[in-house]
Amino acid sequence: MHPSTKAIRTQINRTDEMEHATPMFLTSSFCFDNAEDMRAAFADESDDNIYSRFSNPNVNEFTDKMVALEGAEGGFATASGMSAVFGAFMALLKKGDHLLSCSSIFGSTHTVIKKYLPNFGIEYSYVAADKPGDWEAAIRPNTKMIYVETPTNPGLEVIDLEMLGALAKKHNIILNVDNCFATPFGQRPIEYGADLVVHSATKWIDGQGRVLGGVIVGKKELIHEIYLFCRSTGPALSPFNAWVLSKSLETLDVRMERHAKNALAIATTLEGHEKLSFVRYPFLNSHPQHEIAIKQMKNGGGIVCFELKGGLDSGRNFLNNLKMLSLTANLGDTRSIASHPASTTHAKLTEEERRSVNITPGLIRISVGLEHVDDILADILQALDKS
């Protein structure tokens, strides 16, 4: 079956009601007919659900779809993208291990790595996204995991997954990739040697800004460790959110096709605009890692970035003059969203720290929605005129 078919046709068994769509299983726990069945479930001798912190039919359906879409062996779904990121770190890293990551990384992930991992005796270091030659030299004897996201948030840098997959294999290191921006319909990191893939399902997977969720998929033995950690520590995805997310996966392929088509049209139109010093989108020829992007991605995704020549003040003016686009912290929604990282998500960093992760004063990130592309463009262009 093709991935788009799997996203639609992967379904838990029907109940006696013979429903067509999956019902919601809003239950904390599951019953057993007798003591022997219960013993077998607790001894891992059966697949029976026990308690919704461990597993639940709705959560299983969502997880099974994600496993199929990413080409993985197993998975575990979590309450948010960050609990997926943290769960994978804590289940697999221990005191004395080293985590190698990239300086361009989602803000909360950076906080987890920098502020909390050292509390557990876990070392870390970063390689810059635009220095692909630095990865091998940065590997230490105790490097246990390489963790990257590509394209990066918000700078849209692209990291070569084939190169990292080969490096991780050669040095026997776990390669863990945050595939949130591309989605499994845009990029499949496991085909390039990733051992684990994490997602914030809150973004494109939900796609309508309704629920939080996350998921980790990958190699069976690694997922088993993550499962044991998560089932004891409790970041389980709620059955209701899993039901929403599983339904969302049925339309992810067609939604991403249109998001990417709109984004490419917007990036192409804006490139060369007199108020902008650059426009960045992975599928523009001018993107610094365009060759890598077209090698590993099926489309350029739904995020476009550009830099206003007027810097910080122009960035704020641009947001203030938008009429339709939403000013909100989310991305990956049917509704187009604009954000200005230098005055919001990354305002606490110094100017120099922001520059080191390519967040320039006038950088604007657009999450391109599913409105008509002409309406999105018209709003951006009139706001640019006034900024």
Chain residues in the site for ligand PLP (CB under 6 A): 80-82, 106, 108-109, 149, 153, 178, 180-181, 200, 202-203, 212, 214
Task: Report how far apart, in Å, the C-alpha atoms of 95 and of each of 113, 224, 234 are.
Answer: 14, 20, 22
Residue 217: how many CB atoms within 10 A of its CB?
Answer: 31
Residue 81 or 87 with smaller CB distance to ligand PLP? 81
Residue 181 or 283 with smaller CB distance to ligand PLP? 181
- 70 beta partners: none
Strands 143-149 and 98-102: parallel
User: Residue-wise over 234-258: b if at least 16 C-beta within 10 A, else e?
Assistant: ebbbbbebbbbbbebbbebbebbee
Nearest approach in angstroms of CB 327 to ligand PLP is 17
Closest CA to 60 of 106, 107, 13: 13
Residue 180 or 279 with smaller CB distance to ligand PLP? 180
Residue 80 or 143 with smaller CB distance to ligand PLP? 80
- In degrees, to the nearest 5, what angle opens at C-alpha 381 toward C-alphas 158 and 371? 70
Closest CA to 57 of 67, 47, 66: 47
Q: Which H helix or E strand runs over 157?
A: none
Nearest approach in angstroms of CB 70 to ligand PLP is 15
Nearest approach in angstroms of CB 207 to ligand PLP is 13
Helical spans, DSSP H, in 195-336: 220-233, 239-270, 290-296, 311-321
Residue 52 or 179 with smaller CB distance to ligand PLP? 179
Q: Are 29 and 52 in contact (CB under 8 A)?
A: yes
Nearest approach in angstroms of CB 85 to ligand PLP is 6
Residue 275 or 354 with smaller CB distance to ligand PLP? 354
Residue 139 or 146 with smaller CB distance to ligand PLP? 146
Residue 314: how many CB atoms within 10 A of its CB?
Answer: 21
Nearest approach in angstroms of CB 115 to ligand PLP is 16
Residue 211 or 383 with smaller CB distance to ligand PLP? 211
Task: Report how far apart, in Å, the C-alpha atoms of 112 and of each of 80, 106, 266, 310 are.
Answer: 14, 10, 34, 33
Q: Which H helix or E strand runs over 195?
A: none
Nearest approach in angstroms of CB 16 to ligand PLP is 36
Nearest approach in angstroms of CB 43 to ligand PLP is 34
Helical spans, DSSP H, in 35-80: 35-42, 57-70
Nearest approach in angstroms of CB 3 to ligand PLP is 21
